[in-house]
Amino acid sequence: MGPHPAVAAIRLAVRRVLHDLLTEHHRTTAALPHEPPPPPLVLVACSGGADSMALASALAFESPKLGIRAGGVTVDHGLQPGSDVRAAEVVLRLRELGLDPVDSVTVTVGRAGGPEAAARDARYTALDTAAERHGAAAVLLGHTRDDQAETVLLGLARGSGIRSLSGMAAVSGAGGRYRRPFLELDRQTARKACMVQSLPVWDDPHNADPAYTRSRLRHEGLPALEKALGKGVVEALARTAQLSRDDADALDAWATQAEASVRDAAGLLECAKLYALPPAVRRRILRRAAIAAGAPAGSLFARHIEEVDRLITGWRGQGAINLPGKVVARRQGGRLVIRQG
C-alpha cells in the first residue's frame, strides 16, 4: 500500500523542487576541472507548525534518494514566554527526522514597519546567515496556497498595482535561495500529512491572534469570501498571483526598453516622450527614477508616483513634488528632474 494521499502530495511537491536544485547543481559544477563537489545541502526553515513540519518530513524522506544532504533551521523570535523551549523541541524533532545539521537561531525583533514585518525581517536575516554558514544551496519555506491567497488579498487592499497582487514567488532571494514547494498545496493537506505521520505540530498563537492583520484575514476575511463566492476562491486568488506576476514581469521588461527612448542626450527624462507612453509603463519608469535618486523603495507608494505622474499628464505649472528620502521631482524646460535635495 502506498502512502496516504496527503503524504504522497507533500513528497511529490518536495521531489520536484529537489530535482530542480540537482539540475542546477549539476549545471554549475559540470564545468569544474577537478573532483566532483559534495552533494548540495538543502535546509528547511521550520517553525514547528504544520506546514513546515510536513515540509521537513518530506525533505527527510526524499533527499537521501537523490543524494542530497538535508538540514533544518528554526528561528526563535523571543516574542513569547517559552519560545526557547519550543525552539529546542523543534530542533529535537528535526533531528529525529534524520536532518543534519539542525540550527536554532535566536533573533532580536526590532519595530520597523510593525510587528509582523519586523519579525519577518529578523527571520530572513537569520535564515540567510544560516544558509551562508552551512553553504546551503537552498532554504525551503512552507508557504501554502492558502498563504498565497492571503498575500494576494493583502496586496489588493494596498491598492498599489499588479506587482503587489503577484504574491510570493516559488523561487526568491539571493541567487534563488528560497524555494516554496507547497505554494500549490492547500494548508489542509500539510496538516493531514502531519496527522497521518503522527508528527506533533505547534500552533503559533500569533496565527489566531486577531491583533494581526493576516490572522484576521485567515479567520474572518477568507471564510467570509468563501461563503460569498464559493470554495474555489483560494485557488482563484493563488492563480491570480501567478498571472499577475507574469503581467508585472512583462510590464517591467517593457519599461526597461522604453526608458532608453525617453531620455535625452544628457540622460534627463523628456516629458513629451513620457506622455506618449501607456500609464503603466510610464509610472514604472518614474518609480525607478525616484528609487535611483535615493527614495527608499519601501516608503515609495502609488500615491507618490501618481503625483509625479501629474507633472507629465496634468501639467499646469505646479511646484516640485517631495518624495521619501528627501528626493524631489520637478519639471524644468520640458524635462523631468528627479534628484535628492
Ligand X SMILES: Nc1ncnc2c1ncn2[C@@H]1O[C@H](COP(=O)(O)OP(=O)(O)OP(=O)(O)O)[C@@H](O)[C@H]1O
Binding site listing for ATP: 47-52
CB of 75 to ligand X, least distance (A): 4
Q: Is residue 105 a contact partner of residue 75, using CB atoms and an 8 Å limit?
A: yes
CB of 281 to ligand X, least distance (A): 33
* Identity of the residue, 179 or 304, whose beta carbon is nearer to ligand X in the bound complex: 179
* Identity of the residue, 180 or 282, whose beta carbon is nearer to ligand X in the bound complex: 180
* Identity of the residue, 212 or 254, whose beta carbon is nearer to ligand X in the bound complex: 212
* Identity of the residue, 13 or 255, whose beta carbon is nearer to ligand X in the bound complex: 13
Kind of pairing, strands 335-340 and 327-332? antiparallel
CB of 238 to ligand X, least distance (A): 14
Binding interface with ligand X (CB under 6 A) = 45-47, 49-52, 73-75, 123, 141-143, 147, 204, 207
Q: Cα(320)–Cα(316) distance, rounded to whole angstroms?
A: 12
Q: Cα(244)–Cα(250) distance, rounded to whole angstroms?
A: 10
Q: Cα(102)–Cα(13) distance, rounded to whole angstroms?
A: 22
CB of 249 to ligand X, least distance (A): 24
The CB-side HSE value for 118 (13 A sphere, CA atoms) comes to 13
- When CB distances to ligand X are compared, the closest residue is 49
Cell 510610464, residue? 282
What Rg do the C-alpha atoms of the chain give, in angstroms?
23
* Identity of the residue, 213 or 307, whose beta carbon is nearer to ligand X in the bound complex: 213
CB of 229 to ligand X, least distance (A): 22
Binding-site sequence positions:
47-52
Q: Which long-range contacts (CB under 8 A, 24 or more apart) does 285-291 make?
A: 285/255, 285/258, 285/259, 286/312, 286/329, 286/336, 286/338, 288/255, 288/259, 289/336, 289/338, 290/323, 290/327, 290/329, 290/338
* Identity of the residue, 226 or 270, whose beta carbon is nearer to ligand X in the bound complex: 226
CB of 242 to ligand X, least distance (A): 19
Q: Cα(25)–Cα(184) distance, rounded to whole angstroms?
A: 24
